[in-house]
């Protein structure tokens, strides 16, 4: 369903349906991008919600893996914790254990954030340089991801754009590192401007614990410092929310639940 704001809201029965809907989107966007320009650039979300999507996409018995032109797929990360790539909290490790364990993505197409570096700012600067070089060399323009997958925290954050942090006000850089007081840790994240240039931005939101914040983000006042997910408003791309019924439980607007 497309609302008056141009957002697409897909309400699905449960997390299994969410995984399938997200996998379908990934495959479709990858097919279209590769047909149009020979490659597909996707920034992946961390956290736990997308684990099932990544496992489904790569699963050898599934119906998705064979449809993706993996050799033309370039994977990036929307954010990373300031930890080594083999750390239990690493978003790279999570993708390695789910998607990369079975999907034949060429290693040179996996562009992780080097968050093991003691200097988080340096890691952010290097990642920004990588992005600019990647897109400039292929398309001669500002980085524009074909797909950005995002989660949503119960505090309204997305990627590592946390409430009331300096990362929210960044308008020039594509990638920033910042200390998140609420976490007591540094995070490295894409900034809103580069996410908002993407052709397709898809939020994956699952579970009753997200129902309240999802209602505030979608139906409440525009308060992006408190609800950073509201910063995500693609200038020309699609904005899609794929949510399960548990997460949609407090939405009051018109809805067309998928079966
Ligand atoms: C991260 C993610 C973060 C995540 C939300 C939701 O690094 O943790 O990028 O933005 O998407 O915190 O996390 P869950 O999907 O685990 O609820």
pLDDT averaged over consecutive 10-residue blocks of the chain (259 residues)? 75 98 98 97 97 96 93 98 98 98 97 98 98 89 94 98 98 96 97 97 98 98 98 97 98 69
In three-state secondary structure terms, 16 is helix
Ligand 1 centre distance from Cα of residue 35 (Å): 31
Backbone angles phi, psi at 63, to 5 degrees: -95, 5
Token pair for 145:
């991801």
CA nearest to 237, candidates 147, 156, 157:
147
Ligand 1 atom at minimal distance to the Cα of residue 158: 10
Gyration radius from the chain CA atoms: 17
Report the separation in Å between the CA atom of 236 and the middle of ligand 1, taken as the mean of its atom positions: 25
Structure tokens at 94: 């999570």
Ligand 1 center to residue 182 CA distance, Å?
Answer: 14
Please give the distance, rounded to the nearest whole angstrom, from the Cα atom of residue 66 to the centre of ligand 1.
Answer: 28
Distance in Å, CA 159 to ligand 1 centroid: 7
What is the structure's pLDDT at 161?
A: 98
* Nearby residues of 212 by Cβ (< 8 Å), 6 or more positions away: 154, 250
Question: Is 0.85 surpassed by the pTM of this model?
Answer: yes
Which of 18, 44, 46, 206 gets mutated to test ligand 1 (max ligand atoms within 8 A of its CB)? 46
Can you name the residues that pair with 243 across neighbouring β-strands? 11, 205
- Kindly list the protein residues whose Cβ atom lies closer than 6 A to any atom of ligand 1: 45-49, 78-79, 91, 151-153, 157-160
Helix axes 15-37, 51-58, angle to 10 degrees: 60
For ligand 1, what atom is nearest to the CA of residue 204? 15
Report d(CA 125, CA 191) in Å as an integer. 12
Residue 5: its pLDDT value, please?
61
Q: What's residue 138's pLDDT?
A: 84
Give residue for tokens 């699963």: 59
For residue 256, the model assigns a pLDDT of: 58
Report the distance separating Cα 167 and Cα 179, nearest Å: 9
Cα 75 to ligand 1 centre (Å): 17
CA–CA distances in Å: residue 4 to residues 11, 198, 218, 232 = 17, 20, 12, 16
Candidate of 19, 44, 47 to mutate for ligand 1, largest count of ligand atoms within 8 Å of Cβ:
47
Tell which one of 18, 45, 211 to mutate to probe ligand 1, the residue whose CB is within 8 A of the most ligand atoms. Answer: 45
Residue with the smallest CA separation from ligand 1 atom 7 is 46
Q: Which atom of ligand 1 is nearest to the CA of 91?
A: 7
DSSP for 141-204 reads SS---SEEEE---TTS-BTTB-TT-GGGG--S-SEEEEEETTTTEEEEEE-HHHHTT-SEEEEE
- Long-range interactions of 183-188: CB distance < 8 A, separation 24+: 185/81, 185/82, 186/82, 186/120, 187/79, 187/80, 187/81, 187/82, 187/160, 187/162, 188/79, 188/80, 188/82, 188/113, 188/115, 188/120, 188/123, 188/124, 188/127, 188/160
Mutate to test the pocket of ligand 1, among 54, 149, 151 (most ligand atoms within 8 A of CB): 151
Q: How far is 135 from 138, CA to CA, in rounded Å?
A: 5
Model pLDDT, residue 259 = 43
Residues in the chain: 259
């Amino acid at each position: 369903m497309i609302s008056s704001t141009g957002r697409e809201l897909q309400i699905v029965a449960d997390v299994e349906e969410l995984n399938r809907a997200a996998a379908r989107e990934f495959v479709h966007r990858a097919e279209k991008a590769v047909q149009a320009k020979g490659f597909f650039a996707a920034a992946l979300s961390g956290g736990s919600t997308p684990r099932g999507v990544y496992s489904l996409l790569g699963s050898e018995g599934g119906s998705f893996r064979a449809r993706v032109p993996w050799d033309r797929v370039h994977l990036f990360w929307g954010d990373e914790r300031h930890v080594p790539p083999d750390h239990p909290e690493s978003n790279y490790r999570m993708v390695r254990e789910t998607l990369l364990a079975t999907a034949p993505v060429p290693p040179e197409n996996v562009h992780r954030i080097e968050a093991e570096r003691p200097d988080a700012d340096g890691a952010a600067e290097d990642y920004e340089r990588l992005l600019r070089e990647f897109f400039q060399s292929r398309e001669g323009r500002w980085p524009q991801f074909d797909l950005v997958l995002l989660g949503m925290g119960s505090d309204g954050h997305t990627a590592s754009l946390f409430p009331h942090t300096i990362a929210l006000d960044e308008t020039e850089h594509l990638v920033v590192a910042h200390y998140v007081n609420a976490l007591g840790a540094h995070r490295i994240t894409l900034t809103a401007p580069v996410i908002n240039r993407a052709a397709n931005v898809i939020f994956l939101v699952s579970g009753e614990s997200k129902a309240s914040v999802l209602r505030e983000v979608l139906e409440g006042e525009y308060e992006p410092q408190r609800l950073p997910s509201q910063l995500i408003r693609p200038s020309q791309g699609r904005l899609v929310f794929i949510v399960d019924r548990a997460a949609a439980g407090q939405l009051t607007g018109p809805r067309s639940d998928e079966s």
